[in-house]
Chains A and B, each alone.
Chain A
Amino acid sequence: DQQVKQNSPSLSVQEGRISILNCDYTNSMFDYFLWYKKYPAEGPTFLISISSIKDKNEDGRFTVFLNKSAKHLSLHIVPSQPGDSAVYFCAASAISSGSARQLTFGSGTQLTVLP
């Protein structure tokens, strides 16, 4: 049972345009959401996060939107650059037993920004 779903395995966007990556979740206990970027042969790199008490968080070209009622979040990249081409993972977190946090990841979306 996938608790975090990224239904688009790939996305292609022209340089300079907006990239929108989507993520859906099913577990209502999730209260913190993160996006990671991964290049080949490297580990995932933290990009941006959002707490469930907010509906938007912005950091430079990256904005994450959270719609709790729809259990949906999205990552907007504006403007998109060729260097943004990577696999993007959505992750969600909840306090589990013993105050430990465990990240649950989606399966990733390969973003390709075309020059």
Chain B
Amino acid sequence: KAGVTQTPRYLIKTRGQQVTLSCSPISGHRSVSWYQQTPGQGLQFLFEYFSETQRNKGNFPGRFSGRQFSNSRSEMNVSTLELGDSALYLCASSLARGRGDEQYFGPGTRLTVT
């Protein structure tokens, strides 16, 4: 079974631009979550989508948004990029059966904002 895939793997953008990242979950997984990883901060939860609906949202500004399509693929968008948005963005999928189901991560998209 193919794992979680994320595209692109690397991106360089300029302050003020916007960016769209894509995530394809494991086949059959209906939940997709997004995380931001920065040095020393661990992984910070951005949002979770399930059946095309945002179920949960972390403490990030409105510049960060996402969506999920009917095939469970998800996109994340960041508008008006700031230098502090430079990070590794990770997508994770799960079966979302409820208690305790594990999340499976993709390799991430490394975003650099200059």
Contact = CB atoms under 8 A, between A and B. Distances in A.
Contacts of B102: 34, 46, 49
B107 A42 contact: yes
A88 B110 CA distance: 20
Nearest to A5: B42
Contact of B33 (A36, A97, A103, A108): A103
Interface residues of B, number: 28
A106 B42 contact: yes
B40 interface: yes
Chain A interface residue count: which class?
Answer: 20 to 34
A69 interface: no
Interface of B: 4, 33, 35, 40-45, 48, 50, 55-56, 58, 90, 92, 96, 98-108
Given A97-B56, A100-B56, A102-B48, 4 more contacts: A44-B90, A101-B101, A103-B35, A106-B42
12 contacts: A32-B100, A42-B108, A43-B105, A49-B100, A51-B100, A91-B43, A99-B98, A100-B50, A101-B56, A101-B96, A105-B43, A108-B42
